[in-house]
Structure 1
Amino acid sequence: MGKSKIMGSAKASRRKSRKKASLIQARRKKEFLYRGYTLEELLGMSFDEVLGLMPSRSRRTYMRGLNYEQQVLFDNLKNAEAGATIRTHRKDLPIIPQFVGKTVSIYDGKEFKDVEIKPEMIGHFLGEFVITRKMPVHSGPGVGATRSSKFMPLK
């Protein structure tokens, strides 16, 4: 065996030093864009312009008009301070740019789950971020099981 195999080649050491140098540089945070617009630009737009950018289901919800409970939640979210938490059972309200940074506690059928609204959530519904169903957990065969399934091999 040659000495270069044990010690490593010069090319490998240069590659290793380049890799270390690239890890040292801090990752540049990627700027958020929604359909080509920054969050500041979205906040500067009128409500109708923002609706034109949203998906059709979300746009249709606002175009047809909100019902009473949705309208109350909409007003509360729009007027809330950044630190306040708003509790609700409504999961069918589409997220708009004015809601970003607010915290909502959404009822999942058992308890309230806190959801902080981020820019990536624009256009989605509140209910998409709270799981309302849980997977069934089955035990082994027991009373009422068929004759053949009672004799399960033990591991």
Structure 2
Amino acid sequence: MAKKTQKRLPRRREEFTYRGYTIEQLQQMGASELVPLMPARARRKVNRGLARDHEGLLAKVRAGDEGIRTHLRDMIIMPEMIGKTIEIHNGKEFVAVELQPESVFHYLGEFSLTRRRVSHGTAGIGATRSSKYVPLK
């Protein structure tokens, strides 16, 4: 049996769509047209009305300000925010995040992690008797 040799084609990066709409189409929509497209939690938040500080952040984004810094980790990423760089506070410092089309209707806090990844080293002083043994190569 002959083995088929297929040439792998490079992966084509298609234009991002959210529920059938491109980012440009989402940016042209009004708030009332965006609400049915949102996930349930984001839809509930927008229907209840955004807080004053959330509206202020949106105003800064619409004005085209550079170097926007915020503590509002619970802000929903709206289509008009795509392509902007926002510095989000993680509890210790501000982390610069460029908002990609895939992040539409997620929260800002999801992109600025509050905990660091733990990398455990070898057992040391104060370790239990069984874990003190480190094999020598």
Identity of aligned residues (%): 47
Deviation at 1:128, TM superposition (A): 1.4
1:94-118 deviation digits (Å, cap 9, x = unpaired)? 1111111211011122322211122
CA gap 1:50/1:153 in 2 versus in 1, 3 angstroms: same
Which residue in 2 is equivalent to 1:130? Answer: 112
What is the letter of the counterpart of residue 44 of structure 1?
Q
Q: CA RMSD in A?
A: 2.6
- 1:39-118 to 2 correspondences below 5 Å: 39-81=23-65, 84-118=66-100
TM-score (norm 1): 0.72
Selected match of 2:19 from 23, 29, 35: 35
| Structure 1 contact 96–123 (Cα < 8 Å) conserved | yes
Please give the alpha-carbon distance, in whole angstroms, between the structure 2 residues aligned to 1:153 and 1:89: 47
Structure number with the higher helix fraction is: 1
What is the letter of the counterpart of residue 66 of structure 1?
L
Aligned residue pairs total 134
Deviation at 1:29, TM superposition (A): 4.8
Between structure 1 and structure 2, the one with the greater Rg is: 1
What is the letter of the counterpart of residue 103 of structure 1?
T
Please give the alpha-carbon distance, in whole angstroms, between the structure 2 residues aligned to 1:40 and 1:47: 14
Which residue in 2 is equivalent to 1:143? Answer: 125
Q: Which runs of 5+ in 1 are unaligned?
A: 1-14
